[in-house]
Structure 1
Amino acid sequence: MFDTSQARKAPGTGPHRRWRIALLAATAIALALVLSLCATLPSGRDTSTRGTDAWGAPAEPSLGWGLTHTQYSADAGDPGAKETARRALSARSLPQNQHIMGWGANNPEPSPGRYDFAALDSRIGLIRETGGTPVITLCCAPDWMKGGRPGHTDWSRRSLETAPRPEHYDDFAALAATVAERYPDVRHFIVWNEFKGFFDDSRKRWNYEGYTELYNKVHQALKKVNKNNLVGGPYLNMDSFAPGRTSHASILKGPWGSVDQRVLDAFDYWNTHKAGADFAVVDGSSYTHDDGTPPDQFRSVDKFTAIGRWVQERTSLPLWWAEYYVEPGADSDRDRWSESHRKALQAAGMAAMVRGGATTGFYWNPQKRGGQCYGCLWRSTELTDGSGGAPLPMLDLVRRFHSEFPPGTTYRPVDVASDAPNVRVLADDKVVLVVNTLDRAVRAEIDGRTVNMDAYEVLWLRRP
């Protein structure tokens, strides 16, 4: 997922900048300390309960369920609408993810050693003010690290997808360290995004050696800033093909299709050669590589469960989903779905990720500036008619899921009878999430209790 933010500046090469770095670093560190001392966490935020201390205490590698900020968010727009959205976010202390360049953030280092953190400061400030746990995704790279001209930024999708050149891996790691120093209360960092720019066209596979080299340099740089910083990767898109396709097919398959073997090879290489990691990160969709609509949308989310179990067979690291999608991007009918349909499919997908062992997931918020926004978490903060910033059904789902099923939850079986094949459930000792997967009313027996559900209804039932 991409955006084309408003153009800023961009920048140069690596070795010749070193003589300036010492002086600039000393200045930047001093400034970061002043800024961090001035920053005030929202009242009532008890960081000790989440293991995240702005001054260096160990952090939790599992965060629960939250969101990723994209091009438009609640840090801009009508003052009243912004306040409404912030109150909605503050109702639950959600983990919130922000990229360092693109998706609402400007070029952080337009020229070597010259920084522009204004937009990123705004987003981190929003997360702090709403009591969220901040997560930073270290993507993307300034143009000068990719062969571009210093002082210029190309915001086209093609440019944003380009990875830094190998001779600038150290420069990108230095930028990551600068970001970590600037935001000392941020403890969770994801390295890069979906292997962007790391596909080797000549070999028709992912350049996992290059990504892992970059990852290891960034990992080392972040741990040097603070040994308690938590770092994860590889943020691979677990792409799949439709059932029956044999090209690049793998043993990781099901009625939803087969995951691309080249993706699995990339994960295995990173997992074997990484310098270290505190959590493993993947993303993906329940639909296929070509945006094919699954014959059964609700059964297709079982792909998330299968991927999670495959990852957990290879590592004991906590599993994060940086992005997850259940609506095919090329399916024009999706914009005509009811919000209840959309919410039910999302709930089923989140439950499927949990069954695969996931402990953290981020909903990619497709926020727009105005008008109708399908699947958004709140109404646009650009609206001045009094409705701006109001929470939408998807935010209610994410908040409730995060509250009811936090990291460390022990999940329990549920006795489902009657219309059992048409409902999805997830439960612990206290609550049962029930999802009607049909566009009609159903009656189900849940733990011996008769439950009548409307089409695509999502229910939360308290257990006796």
Structure 2
Amino acid sequence: MGRHTGECAVMRVERWRLAGLIGAGVVALALLLSMCGFPSGGWRDDSRGPGEVYGTPRMPGAPPRPELGWGFTHTQLSADEGEKQARERAADALSQRSLPQNQHIMGWGADNPEPSPGRYDFTALDSRIELVRRTGGTPVITLCCAPDWMKGGSEGTTDWSKLETAPSRAHYKDFARLAGKVAERYPDVRHFIVWNEFKGFFDDRKKRWDYEGYTELYNLVYDELKRVREDNLVGGPYVVMDSVASADSDHASAVSGDWGSIDQRALDAVTYWNQHKRGADFVVIDGASYTKDQRLLPDEFAATEKFTAASRWVRKETGLPLWWAEWYVELSDENDQRDGWSERHRLAVHATGMIAMARGGAGTGFYWNPQRKGEECAGCLWRSTHLPDGGRKLPILELLSRFGEAFPPGTRHERVPVSGDDRVRLLASAEAILVVNPHDRPVQVTVDGQSIELTGYEVRWLRR
């Protein structure tokens, strides 16, 4: 998640596909190949008319549902590149259970999709959608970010340092048309998130989110996606549920707990969007369990109760199915890396966070997958495919898969008796119980009549 420095979101460069330096050369080469009669691949020069369909879509056999369960977002590095055998192992791991998989249209592994008006380059996006199709996932597209020429830049160029800049109001309709082209190219994608974290939509003069501008853009995109296909499902506003440490802090709201208080400006953005949107099939938020000044209150496990409180407020405010587009539970360093915990510790806190979101009524969540190329990859879903022995499933992917299977959308959560340690976290359905030990030492507990010993930070699944 792009956290905030002052009032501006700062997305780390290492997450981006750094194609700006070669963008102009790629455009020139594609033009030359086109004139010489060579196939253009993902390039298309067509500002009008229906978009070209890519590959062989895996059309859903039933109408799309507004809740998808638990999956992940592809970022700068994913399983569509690297060593062949490692990519195959990662694909096999992803194919073991169908997961919703989210991909942005620009940045986070995707190049500029429209470097010049009417001139499209979907090559990188094609590769990601093909990976989702090949692994049997449910594809989701986040419609962010915008080509440079829509936000004051020059046609045919890409300045990746301006990735977070929103399109200018004069180009809102151009961005909506681009969204329509994307929807036409991938007809098997039926779920669309509009924009990411209100990037570029902060009003420095008013010191609040420009929710009027965002909602204007959202409505144009919504109309275009529904024009392409009426049963395309669309949601927003994907605003960050930032929190402050004290109820006396600036911008504190009534949505609060021991973990802090949610920034009132985030709630105002949701309220305005909800009241002025053309329509929506689901509502999207994201956030971290820690405060804006990087504090986990009162500790890393109890801080996740923020997710429950935020979820319940948003559900009550909008009445819509709730999606968490990103969530974070571990403090980041100056390079936006989160590798200060053991993997066992990390897994336990993420499981607790997912329990908290589900208790709040969330039916969909996307884990931000921080893939890297090297040996060390804290919190990654699979071992790097750039390594010869890479592609192996890692613990958090197993957690996502198991959680989605045990607690699909619509699951009725049940209360079960637990004794021995009142800090143990759990979530239960009629068939399964997920139990998490929040201590770094063993504990003996009785859950639903079953006496069990949990090792430090253990995540245990029980059958009922």
Counterpart residue number, 1:324: 327
* Distance in structure 2 (CA, Å) of the matches to 1:261 and 1:361: 23
Q: Residue 68 of structure 1 contacts residue 364 of structure 1 at CA under 8 Å; is this kept in 2?
A: yes
Deviation (angstroms), 1:418 = 1.4
SS in structure 1 of the partner of residue 301 of structure 2: helix
Q: TM-score when scaled to structure 2?
A: 0.90
Q: Could you list the per-position Cα deviations for residues 259-279 of structure 1 after superposition, in whole angstroms to 9, with x for gaps in the alignment?
A: 111111111000000000000
Counterpart residue number, 1:118: 123
Counterpart residue number, 2:154: 149
* Distance in structure 2 (CA, Å) of the matches to 1:119 and 1:391: 24
Q: TM-score when scaled to structure 1?
A: 0.90
Please list every run of 5 or more consecutive structure 1 residues that lacks an aligned counterpart in the other structure: 12-20, 52-57
Counterpart residue number, 1:90: 95
Please tell me the residue identity of whatever aligns with 1:389: G
Q: Residue 191 of structure 1 contacts residue 234 of structure 1 at CA under 8 Å; is this kept in 2?
A: yes
Counterpart residue number, 1:446: 447
Q: Residue 148 of structure 2 contacts residue 155 of structure 2 at CA under 8 Å; is this kept in 1?
A: yes
The reply to whether residue 257 of structure 1 matches residue 260 of structure 2 is yes
SS in structure 1 of the partner of residue 461 of structure 2: strand
Counterpart residue number, 1:160: 163
Counterpart residue number, 2:378: 374
The reply to whether residue 213 of structure 1 matches residue 236 of structure 2 is no
Match of 1:337 among 322, 341, 357: 341
Match of 1:278 among 274, 278, 281: 281
Q: Counterparts in 2 of 1:423-438, with a 5 A limit?
A: 423-438=424-439
SS in structure 1 of the partner of residue 205 of structure 2: coil
Q: Counterparts in 2 of 1:17-56, with a 5 A limit?
A: 24-26=47-49, 29=51, 31-32=52-53, 35=54, 38-39=55-56, 41=58, 47-48=60-61, 51=62
Deviation (angstroms), 1:401 = 0.4
Q: Residue 442 of structure 1 contacts residue 452 of structure 1 at CA under 8 Å; is this kept in 2?
A: yes
The reply to whether residue 4 of structure 1 matches residue 5 of structure 2 is no
Q: Residue 138 of structure 1 contacts residue 176 of structure 1 at CA under 8 Å; is this kept in 2?
A: yes
* Distance in structure 1 (CA, Å) of the matches to 2:379 and 2:109: 18
* Distance in structure 1 (CA, Å) of the matches to 2:95 and 2:239: 30
* Distance in structure 2 (CA, Å) of the matches to 1:445 and 1:267: 41
* Distance in structure 1 (CA, Å) of the matches to 2:159 and 2:46: 29
Counterpart residue number, 1:17: none
Q: Residue 344 of structure 1 contacts residue 436 of structure 1 at CA under 8 Å; is this kept in 2?
A: yes
SS in structure 2 of the partner of residue 289 of structure 1: coil
Q: Counterparts in 2 of 1:161-310, with a 5 A limit?
A: 161-310=164-313
SS in structure 2 of the partner of residue 214 of structure 1: helix
Please tell me the residue identity of whatever aligns with 1:445: T
Counterpart residue number, 1:459: 460
Deviation (angstroms), 1:40 = 5.7
Q: Could you list the per-position Cα deviations for residues 169-214 of structure 1 after superposition, in whole angstroms to 9, with x for gaps in the alignment?
A: 0000000000000000100000000000000001111100000000
* Distance in structure 1 (CA, Å) of the matches to 2:338 and 2:87: 28
Deviation (angstroms), 1:305 = 0.2
Match of 2:400 among 385, 398, 403: 398
CA pair 202-462 structure 1, distance change in 2 beyond 3 A: same
SS in structure 1 of the partner of residue 273 of structure 2: helix
Deviation (angstroms), 1:334 = 5.5
Please tell me the residue identity of whatever aligns with 2:17: S
Q: Residue 57 of structure 2 contacts residue 186 of structure 2 at CA under 8 Å; is this kept in 1?
A: no
Counterpart residue number, 2:33: none
* Distance in structure 1 (CA, Å) of the matches to 2:211 and 2:182: 25
SS in structure 2 of the partner of residue 251 of structure 1: strand
Which deviates the most, 91-100 or 325-334?
A: 325-334
Q: Residue 291 of structure 1 contacts residue 330 of structure 1 at CA under 8 Å; is this kept in 2?
A: no
Deviation (angstroms), 1:411 = 1.2
* Distance in structure 2 (CA, Å) of the matches to 1:205 and 1:253: 20
* Distance in structure 2 (CA, Å) of the matches to 1:40 and 1:153: 29
Counterpart residue number, 1:14: none
Please tell me the residue identity of whatever aligns with 2:48: A
Q: Counterparts in 2 of 1:76-87, with a 5 A limit?
A: 76-87=81-92
Deviation (angstroms), 1:315 = 1.8
Which deviates the most, 129-138 or 333-342?
A: 333-342
Counterpart residue number, 2:6: none
CA pair 236-138 structure 1, distance change in 2 beyond 3 A: same
Match of 1:60 among 65, 72, 75: 65
Deviation (angstroms), 1:24 = 3.8
* Distance in structure 2 (CA, Å) of the matches to 1:297 and 1:23: 51
* Distance in structure 1 (CA, Å) of the matches to 2:48 and 2:83: 37
Please tell me the residue identity of whatever aligns with 2:128: R
* Distance in structure 2 (CA, Å) of the matches to 1:23 and 1:131: 30
Counterpart residue number, 2:4: none
CA pair 312-174 structure 1, distance change in 2 beyond 3 A: same
Please tell me the residue identity of whatever aligns with 1:103: W
* Distance in structure 1 (CA, Å) of the matches to 2:320 and 2:462: 31
* Distance in structure 1 (CA, Å) of the matches to 2:248 and 2:377: 35
Please tell me the residue identity of whatever aligns with 2:347: K
RMSD, matched Cα? 1.8
* Distance in structure 2 (CA, Å) of the matches to 1:251 and 1:422: 25
Deviation (angstroms), 1:336 = 3.7
* Distance in structure 1 (CA, Å) of the matches to 2:345 and 2:236: 32
Deviation (angstroms), 1:333 = 11
SS in structure 2 of the partner of residue 243 of structure 1: coil
Deviation (angstroms), 1:313 = 1.4
Q: Residue 259 of structure 2 contacts residue 290 of structure 2 at CA under 8 Å; is this kept in 1?
A: yes
